[in-house]
Structure 1
Amino acid sequence: MRVLIVGGGGYIGFHIGLELASRQHEVTLFDLHPPNPVWYDKSETCPLPFVTGSILCLPDLEQVLSLSKAEGVIHCAAHGMSSREQLPSASSLTESINIDGTSLLLKVCSGPSSSVTSLVYTSTFNVVFGCDEIIGGDENLPYFPLHRHWDNYSISKSVAERLVLASSGKNKKFHTCSLRLAGVMGVGETRHLPRIVASLPFLKFRYGNAKVQFVGIKNAVQAHVKALEKLHDDPDVVGGEAYFISDGKPIEHWEYFRPLIEGLGYTYPKWVLPVGLMWIFVLLGQFFLRVFGEIWGAGRGLFLSPAELLKTSVTHWFSIDKAKQHFGYAPEDVNDLSGVLHEYRRKMGLSPLLKFRKNDT
């Protein structure tokens, strides 16, 4: 299959591309910026064909679809996922990329001159989670009300997912599905893990005991590849459907990171602050960034946004049975941060660990 990955310069998109290429698919990456060289041998050029362009530019999309002759598309381009990107000042860009960009991509892919038959959309737990506890939820849950979300990222991803699923089957040849991912972790991840590791020297307390889910990069990749292949071969089963994707085993948020904290030589915090007090800190931090951002250093970003506080302090986890049944999703190395720990010990000049404390909570 010829596959175009929109957002292929990002962590998830690039690794999906590598796996698809290893399975003999023809892959083209499309993004504003090429993949980070840390994800491949720095002495080499990007191992996959890469085309520079914007999801907001119709000529760019038409050109890359024409050049790639794509039959399948994986859409993982997004903005506004974390930190200061969730501030209201960034809302217009978030909405443009996540909603307008998705709408434009769907228009081009489903057009009469397009060769695309299958599109897999990278979505998020946030489309159904906002602030209410969810235990063992499934795909029958309704979308979380847009007006109750704390961030434009969640709002825009919810709107975009509905556009994607509504477009499935509108013409006989074009079908879509959506993968709702938990937080993605893995070696080389550059959005969340660097912030977490940088905060460890100052980590003297924790908060809450929420049970949540994460997904390792290998499992996120596996889900996309299997979903795309199934959608291409059997659209009657997968077309128009949404799926929760995670490692499958709920774990307390802090316990998930405990092997990393202790493995890097830091003390696991024993003090537990009330979540209400954390809300005061987070809202004050957001206020100072809004008012004094340019002076105070908006480039530093927020340690936690309100949406991130909710994600880490309110229990929410979902069944992955539907993905298992429909396209054979089978997570491996569940809740495993051993590779990440090895990566950061090497960066910090520490010797490799002979034993690793595994997440078995």
Structure 2
Amino acid sequence: MKVVVTGGGGYVGYHVGWAIARGGHEVVLLDVAAPDPEWATTAPEALHDALPDDFWTGEVTEGSLEHVKCDVTDLTSLTRRMKGAAAVIHTASYGVSGKEQLSPHFDEQEKVNVGGTRAVLSAALATGVRALVYTSTYNVVFGGEAMRAGDESAPIFPLHAHADHYSRTKAIAEMLVLMANGRASASGSSPSAAGPQLPVPFRTCSLRLNGVMGLGERRHSRRVIEAFRSGLLIFTYGRKDAIVDFVGIQNVVQAHVKAMMALLREQTAAPSEASPGPPSVPCDPLSPPCSSSSVSGHAFFISDGRPVNHFEYFRPWFDGLGHAFPGLSLPFAFILVFAYLQEFVYRLVYWMFPFHALRHARGGL
């Protein structure tokens, strides 16, 4: 089958696409930037235990993995590339880190994360795509207050109260994706027992990730390594008992592939064979899941299940690269004030000193 991955030039998108292609499928990676050439070499090691050898049923043949330059906001191009696709993995986003998070880039965040998601959904429905998996973030339910043992029953955080615009746009995009679940695609149809063609329902779900790490990852790890190699990482901040989830690329890939396959099974199962699915109207994305036995219409947190203090996670990196772990710890309030000051200065000078936004960010995570 054909699978389209938006943001396929990004770390998550490429590795998800690579795993699907290994299953003998035709994968098209859509992104304005090409994937890192090194990933073709490192992916087999990075994903060596992501999926069991017998995960793909039947005889596995050599699939294909092709990168096509495409802007996720270009509906015409998306529609052309999605023709014949059975599923879409939508990883494309903008503003997850770096200067692209700051207020001068809010319009671009809105354009890519919300407008791009609308375009992807429209193209998928117009071309008869049967399933769509959306790559979301923990941030859609997090607004700065501590969460312990949180699960999928947590509602999306009020949009007006989000601490940053990226999280707000990702929350809106997730709601759009989940509300599209159950809609009939324009060209999709399946035979009924009586003979006539019935509309095929479009199946969607959302996977919420936090910091993704793994062999070949560049976005987060490169910044951390450059910071302490330059001597800038000289202190930690925040409470020692504050913990976060990181997730390895193996679990990220496994979650996306299994979610896609589950959506396709739900979409093609006969009514008597299908598990109790969503009601005839889409689930309310602001409420807990409306069915405990289906994937479609739901959001899921993905993690390694081993929350850890953010700075302690990187302690082995300091040791391995021969740097002393910071002994100074500053209060979080001080860092927050400094961050606001930094953004204020950036707003004043960015137009005089052009900081070119990473076009790659219009692709994937």
Give the TM-score of the pair, scaled to structure 2: 0.77
Q: Cα gap change, 1:8/1:146 in structure 2, threshold over 3 Å: closer, same or farther?
A: same
- 1:344-359 superposed matches below 5 A: none
Asked if the contact 1:289/1:296 (under 8 Å) is kept, the reply is no
Going from structure 1 to structure 2, the CA distance change for 1:285 and 1:299 (only over 3 Å counts) comes to farther
**Deviation (angstroms), 1:272:** 1.0
Contact 1:79 1:85 in 2 (8 A): yes
Instruction: Provide the residue aligned with 2:362 in structure 1.
Output: none
How far apart, in 2, do the equivalents of 1:300 and 1:168 lie?
33
Question: Shift in Å at residue 299 of structure 1?
Answer: 6.4
**Matching residue of 1:4:** 4
* Residue matched to 1:92: 107
Cα separation, 1, equivalents of 2:357 and 2:172: 29
CA distance in structure 1 between the aligned counterparts of 2:164 and 2:38, rounded to whole angstroms: 30
Does 2:268 match 1:218? no
Give the letter for the 2:224 counterpart.
I
Contact kept, 8 Å, 1:289 with 1:298, in 2: the verdict is no
Q: Counterpart amino acid of 1:180? A: R
Equivalent position of 2:79 in the other structure: 62
Relative to structure 1, the CA distance from residue 70 to residue 296 in structure 2 (aligned partners, 3 Å threshold; closer, same or farther) is closer
RMSD: 1.9
| Distance (whole Å) between structure 1 residues aligned to residue 357 and residue 111 of structure 2 | 24
1:296 CA displacement: 6.8
Higher relative contact order (CA 8 A, sep 6+): 2
- Aligned to 1:34, the other structure's residue is in SS state coil
- 153, 177, 199: which is aligned to 2:205? 177
Alignment partners' CA distance in 2, 1:271 and 1:296: 33
Matches within 5 A, 1:153-164: 153-164=166-177
Matches within 5 A, 1:248-327: 248-294=305-351, 298=355
Give the partner amino acid of 1:59. Answer: T
- 1:152 paired with 2:184, answer no
Could you list the per-position Cα deviations for residues 125-175 of structure 1 after superposition, in whole angstroms to 9, with x for gaps in the alignment? Answer: 000011110001011111111112232211110000000000100224211
Q: Does 1:234 align with 2:233?
A: no
Could you say if the C-alpha distance between residues 278 and 95 of structure 1 is closer, same or farther in structure 2, counting changes exceeding 3 Å?
A: same
Question: Whole-Å Cα distance in 1 between the matches of residues 263 and 25 of structure 2?
Answer: 15
Q: CA deviation at 1:297?
A: 7.7
Question: Residue 240 of structure 1 aligns to a residue in which SS?
Answer: coil
- 2:297 counterpart of 1:243: no
Counterpart of 2:217 in 1: which secondary structure? coil
The Cα of 1:266 is off from its aligned counterpart by 0.6
Paired residues of 2:39 and 2:216 also in contact (CA < 8 A): yes
Alpha-carbon distance, 1:26 to partner = 1.8
Unaligned runs of 5+ in 1: 302-361
Q: Distance in 2 between matches of 1:16 and 1:218?
A: 9
Q: SS state of the match for residue 136, structure 1?
A: coil
Structure 1 range deviating more: 117-126 or 83-92: 83-92
CA deviations over 1:239-261 (Å, ceiling 9, x no partner): 10100001111111111111111
Residues matched between the structures, number:
293
Deviates more, 1:19-28 or 1:120-129: 19-28
Matched, 1:205 2:235: yes
Counterpart of 2:262 in structure 1: which amino acid?
A: K
Q: 1:52 aligns with which of 63, 69, 82?
A: 69
The within-5 A match list for 1:102-121 is 102-111=117-126, 114-121=127-134
Residue 178 of structure 1: CA displacement? 0.2
Alpha-carbon separation, structure 2, partners of 1:177 and 1:194: 31
Quick one: distance in 2 between partners of 1:48 and 1:25?
8
Provide the rounded CA distance (Å) in 2 between the counterparts of 1:260 and 1:300: 28
How far the C-alpha of 1:298 sits from its partner, in A, is 4.8
Contact 1:79 1:97 in 2 (8 A): yes
